[in-house]
Amino acid sequence: MLLAACTSSMPTERATAAGSWSGSVPATANTAGIGLSLVLADQGGVVSGSGTAVIGAYNNAITISGARSVADVSLTITFSPTESASFTGELVDDQHIAGVFDGIGSHDSLTLTK
C-alpha cells in the first residue's frame, strides 16, 4: 500500500512575523506613494518593531505594534504622535504577508516581502 505525503504552504502554529519586511503602496492622484521597510519581532504573537516609511520625498522613522494569531497579522504603524495607519494581513508563506494598508489617505492592497 502506498501512502502519499501531503504538504501545504499554509502557515502553522510555528508561523512568525519576525524578520525584515518591505513593501510599497503605489501613488494615486490624491496620495504620494508609500515605501515601507520594517524590522519586526514576534514574541508569542505579540508583534513590535521599527522601520522607515518613505512617503513621497520624505523618510519617516516609524514604530510598529500589533498581534499575530497563527497566520493572521494586525499591525498599527505609527508615523508621529498624531498619525498612524493599520495593516491587516495573512502570512501566506514564510516570505510574504498579503493584506490591506489603511491610513494617511490610502486604502490599498499591500504585500510585505522578507
**For the segment 11-29, what is each residue's pLDDT rounded down to a tens digit?**
555 689 999 999 999 888 7
Average pLDDT, stretch 75-91? 94
Give the list of residues 6+ apart from residue 14 with CB closer than 8 angstroms, or none: none
- Give all domains of the chain, ordered by start, each with its CATH number: 19-113 (2.40.128.120)
The set of cell numbers assigned to 37 is: 521597510
Q: For the segment 91-113, what is each residue's pLDDT rounded down to a tens digit?
A: 999 999 999 999 888 889 999 99
> Which pLDDT does position 11 carry in this prediction?
52
Long-range contacts of 39-46 (CB under 8 A, 24+ apart): 40/64, 42/16, 42/17, 42/18, 42/68, 45/69
